[in-house]
Amino acid sequence: MVQQTLRRESQLLVQLRETLETEQVEERRRVDELLAGLDELFTIVVVGEFNAGKSSLINALFGAKLRVEGPIPVDDRISILRHGDTATMKRRSDFVVEQSYPVEFLRNITLVDTPGTNSIVQRHQEVTEDFVPRADLVLFVTSIDRPLSESERRFLEYIRKWGKKVVFVINKTDTKSPEEVGQVVDYVKINTRALFGFDPVIFPVSAKLALETKLGTSPPREWTRSNFEALEDYIFKVLSEKERVRIKLQAPLDTILSLATQQFSLIESRRQLLAADRQRIDAITSQLAQASSDLSSNFQQFTMRIDNLMMDLERRGVDFIDRYLRIGHLMLLRNPLRFREEFDRQVFMGWHGSIDSTIQESVDWLVRENMKLWHSTVEAFHRQVEADTRDPVLIGKVGREFAYNREEVYSRIRVETERRLNTYDLGVESRRIIDDAMRGVFHSVGLGAGALGLGYLFTSAVSSMALDVTGLTAATMLLVTSFLILPYKRSKAKTSFSARIEELRKQIGEALARESSLEIERMIRAINGAFEPYERFYTTESARIERFAGRLHAAETEAHELTAAVARL
């Protein structure tokens, strides 16, 4: 049963390591250490602030002064204490040494002595924290003079983050009365329960008295006053081989569950950010849809102005025909060239300039609105995301690679936007839109496309048509010989002219609406295109996070099942 549980834990740790992201170097290293620790002896890590009495505690367990003691930090290395026939020391790394002692209880237990925390040497704290995840049991040594100081509470939070079993040793009780010792024990119990949510195992001891009685420098009665026997009974008897196996099997599972909790917190932070991203994407889509509707609606002002110009043209053309298609203007009617010139002068006087300037104005308006829409959309977007992309706390919460990838997408959007806007020439863009629009309009109304302008081509087309509808060129003699035919021709000419202008008004209105819609759609599509990397990032990261969450949930479920199996051992 034990071997089967070990195999399952080993497989679970391998799977968890592969589940963790590449950038999570520390977490993956911890998992590797847990894997390596499965095959090692039961490991007790002794931690505490400097001058709390860690070394004297270990010496009291050994019954000999094998560890250096002192009132100031004396060692900046992790010391792994194992059994050996002779006292030896081997350096394993810059901050880890392995020492062997001919101490019997080390045959079944590995003891780890760590540098004191809360030292002015920050590296002492770091190397101690580095070894905590490898512990099967943590002996937390605190001095009765300053139990559960603020720095100790912070360090306990770190230990509990890794789900480690903690046993408290309150040292130097020989300096206090029994009543004071009892008060300190109660203080540690109450605060540990309140701060960390568990009932602690506490041993108040005097390591100094225990060692002195073992060495024979203090009378045997001091052994009782040291209270050290209870601690030794716990380590060497209560922690029987069976119990040590259970704790050793449970320790990595507690770490896995603690690690899973941390990772789910990271996942939730990313989900919250991506939810905000989704809201921004939806907001941009909604804003652009509204902008498209507003632009189309506002462009109608120019369509109406052109429509009014066409109506005014119709009015002037009908008035001209009514005034000049009469016998009193026979000389003008008999000269088609003069008739055409007079028609152009009176009917089209200033008209082609007005319609061309209106077209130019409408296009300039479109271009300006396009620029404004680019600026307002992109700038609003970057104002919203700038704070969280620059927040180091946020990067710590969601993972550096995720945050940087996200910021890279934002930067890409900004760079692409600036590139587009910097190359956006108002005149060139206006000319392009006019050319595109005019081709569409000319095609719709059956005119030859060119760069002459809408007004000029309409002047040519309508004046030619106006002359044709009179039929004068082919019927001059008939007009001269018959006064009755002239009113009929005049009425027919006005009706035909009005019908033709009405047809042109409809065609031009439809063409301008169609071409402006195409241009507005192109503008909106270009802005949306700038945000496509953002949409792709959201989609890709959302899928990746959910895969990560799924694998992590499976690992957590397996850890809970193994915890139940260990409890049944």
Which pLDDT belongs to residue 4? 87
Q: Give percent of the chain above pLDDT 70.
A: 80
pLDDT tens-digit series, residues 375-421:
888 777 777 777 666 565 555 667 767 776 777 777 777 776 667 66
pLDDT tens-digit series, residues 535-567:
888 999 899 999 999 999 999 999 999 999 888
CATH number of 41-239, picked from 3.30.1180.10, 3.40.50.300, 3.40.50.1980, 3.40.50.920 = 3.40.50.300
Nearest CA to 54 out of 108, 109, 117, 104 is that of 117
Mean pLDDT calculated for residue range 194-201:
87
Which pLDDT belongs to residue 503? 80
Query: Would you say 281 and 530 are in contact if contact means Cβ atoms under 8 Å apart?
Result: no
Q: How confident is the model at residue 473 (pLDDT cuts 50, 70, 90)?
A: very low
> Would you state the structure tokens that stand for residue 266, as one six-digit string?
């990271």
Nearest CA to 116 out of 55, 192, 44 is that of 55
> Would you state the structure tokens that stand for residue 297, as one six-digit string?
């609606």
Which pLDDT belongs to residue 438? 59
Query: Would you say 13 and 78 are in contact if contact means Cβ atoms under 8 Å apart?
Result: no
Whether the pLDDT of residue 467 is over 90: the answer is: no
Give the alpha-carbon dihedral of 451, 455, 460, 463, to 10 degrees. Answer: 170
Mean pLDDT calculated for residue range 473-483:
47
Q: How confident is the model at residue 223 (pLDDT cuts 50, 70, 90)?
A: very high
Nearest CA to 351 out of 501, 500, 512 is that of 501
Whose structure tokens read 């099967």? 136
More confident residue, 458 or 65: 65
Distance linking the first and last C-alpha atoms of the chain: 8
Q: How confident is the model at residue 470 (pLDDT cuts 50, 70, 90)?
A: very low
pLDDT tens-digit series, residues 33-46:
888 888 888 889 99
Which pLDDT belongs to residue 472? 47
